[in-house]
Amino acid sequence: SAAEHTFALILANSRNIAAADASTRAGKWERSKYQGVELEGKTLGIVGLGKIGSLLAQYAKPFRMRVIAFDPLLTKERADVLGVELVELDRVLTDADYITFHVPLTEKTKGMIGAAALKKMKRTVRLVNTSRGGVIDEKALADALAAKEIGGASLDVYETEPPAKDHPLFKVENVTLTPHLAASTEEAQVKVAVDIAE
C-alpha cells in the first residue's frame, strides 16, 4: 500500500495531476501550464531499501527508470538481486531525478534533508516522503519550492499532523500533499487486522 502510494505521488507530481484537475474543474483549459515530465530514462533515488523501498525499486523498472539507493544496512548482494546500484547519500542527492524516503524517524534521520541537502540536488528533482514527518525540514522545502530551486515535491507525512492551516507548503504550487494515506487502502487495513489477530 505504501509503495503504491509513493509511486502514485511520483506520477501525480510528474504530470501535475492535482493542480490540473483543480484548474479544469474551475472551467479553465491550461494545457501548456501543466506540461509534465516523463519517468523513462530518469534516475530514481531511494533512501531506505527495506520492504517498501524494495517494492518501489521493482515498480520503477517497467517505467524504464534507473534506480540508485542509499541504505547503510543493505548488502551489495541484496542490492544486486533488486537490480539497484547502492551508493552514498550524497550521490543520491546529486544524481537522482526523483528521491523517495522510506526510513524511520530517528536522531540520524530527523531533518536529514534541510537547506544544505536541497542545494545539492538538481533543479528539476522531485521529492516524495511517505515515511515519517520530520525527515525533511518542511520550511526549507517550502523555501526551495517557492524559489524554484527544485522541481517539485509530494508529502504524505508531516512534522505535525494535521499541519497548521498556515503551513508554508500550502502557499507553493509545485507540491502535492495527501493526509497520511499511504496505508489507507481496504486491503492494507485487512492485512493489519489479520496480523494483529495472528
DSSP letter string over 4-34? HHHHHHHHHHHTTHHHHHHHHHTT---TTTT
* Marked catalytic residue, from 5, 102, 126, 132: 132
φ/ψ of residue 74, rounded to 5: -90, 140
The reply to whether 149 belongs to the active site is no
Which of 40, 161, 186, 198 is catalytic? The answer is 161
Active-site residue flag, 161: yes
Nearest CA to 128 among 113, 115, 107, 139? 113
Cβ–Cβ < 8 Å for 149, 119: yes
pLDDT, tens digit (0-9, with 9 covering 90-100), for 29-73: 999 999 999 999 999 999 999 999 999 999 999 999 999 999 999
CA–CA distance, 135 with 109 (Å, rounded to integer):
6
Is residue 161 over pLDDT 90?
Answer: yes
Average pLDDT over residues 161-180: 94
Choosing from 15, 66, 91, 180, which is the catalytic residue? 180
Answer yes or no: 123 catalytic: no
Please give the average per-residue pLDDT across 7-27, as a whole number. 95
What is the three-state SS of 103-161?
CCCCCCCCCCECHHHHHHCCCCCEEEECCCCCCECHHHHHHHHHCCCCCEEEECCCCCC
Q: Is the pLDDT of residue 182 over 90?
A: no
Band of pLDDT at residue 75, cut at 50, 70 and 90: confident
